[in-house]
Structure 1
Amino acid sequence: MEQNIHLTINDEESSVIVRSAETLLTTLRDKLGLTGAKPGCENGDCGACTILVNDWPMKSCLMLTCESANQKITTIEGLKNAPIQKAFLEHWGFQCGYCTSGFIMNCHALSLIHPDANDYIIENWLQSNICRCTGYEEIKEAIKSVLNHNNPYIS
C-alpha cells in the first residue's frame, strides 16, 4: 500500500509517495537524493544513517517514512557550517568518510542537547556509531572542542 507523505527535511517541505514499510533512509536516498545518510548494517547497529528528528539523533534505517510526517528532519545536507563539521576537519575525526556523516549528526545533537557533556556522556553517545577505520580519539577531541569549555568535568 502506498501513501503520500508530507515531510519537513532541512527546513524544506517535500511530498513523497511511499510504501507503508519504507524506511526513511530509503526515502531520503532514493526518492529525495539526500545521500549523506549511508546504508550500513540497516538494522540500527552502525549509525552510518544517523539523522536528526526534532534535534535528536535517529537511525534512519529504523524509522519508517510514514512515522516522520510532522517531524523536523535534519540530514547532513541540512547542516550549514555547524561548528562540529569544522571540528571534525581540524581534529581529523574521519578517515574513509563513510561513517562520518552519522558521527557528525550524532555529535551535533550531543552539542545541542548536552552542551556541557562530560567524558561519560560523550562516551555513551559515541557508542551508537561505529567506525572501522580509525580510533575514536579524534572524534572525541572534535566534540570536546565544540562543547562548553567552562565545564570542569571535561578533561
Structure 2
Amino acid sequence: MRFILSTALLALVALSAYAQAPAKPSEMEAPASLQLKGYNSRDIETFVKAYSDTVKVYNSPGQLSYKGKDELRKRYSSMFAQTPDLHCELVNRIVSGNVVIDHERVQFSKDRPRKEAIAVYRIKNGEIYEVTFISPDKN
C-alpha cells in the first residue's frame, strides 16, 4: 500500500512540474518567437532570419507598406539603432493553422507610454511570408 501511495505521490509531483514548465513554441510559432527575440535584443540578424526573402508587410489589412527582406532589414536596422529603449511585451498569442496573432505592448521610449499593437503573421516553410500590423483606434 505504501508503494502505491508513494508512486501516486511521485506521479502527482511529476505532473505538477510538467504543467508548470513553460510550453515549447509550436512549429508555427517558432518564426514569430524568433523575430520577437531579435526585436527585443535589437539583433537584426536574428530578427530577419524569421522572414522569407519575399515577405510582404502591411500596416493595416490590405495596405501594403513594403515587401522583401532587404527592405525589412533596412527599416528595422535603422529603428534598432535609433531606439535603445525598444521593447515588445507579448500580451497574448493565438495560433490557428499557419497564422500566429500576437497582441503586443511596444515601448519605444521610457518617457512615453507603451503602444498597443496586433501583429498577424502568416507562416510557410518555417518563415514569415506576410505580416499585418493593426493598431487599435485612438479615442
Normalization by structure 1: what TM-score? 0.25
What TM-score, normalized by structure 2, do the two folds share? 0.27
Higher radius of gyration, 1 or 2 = 2
Which structure's residues are more often strand, by fraction?
2
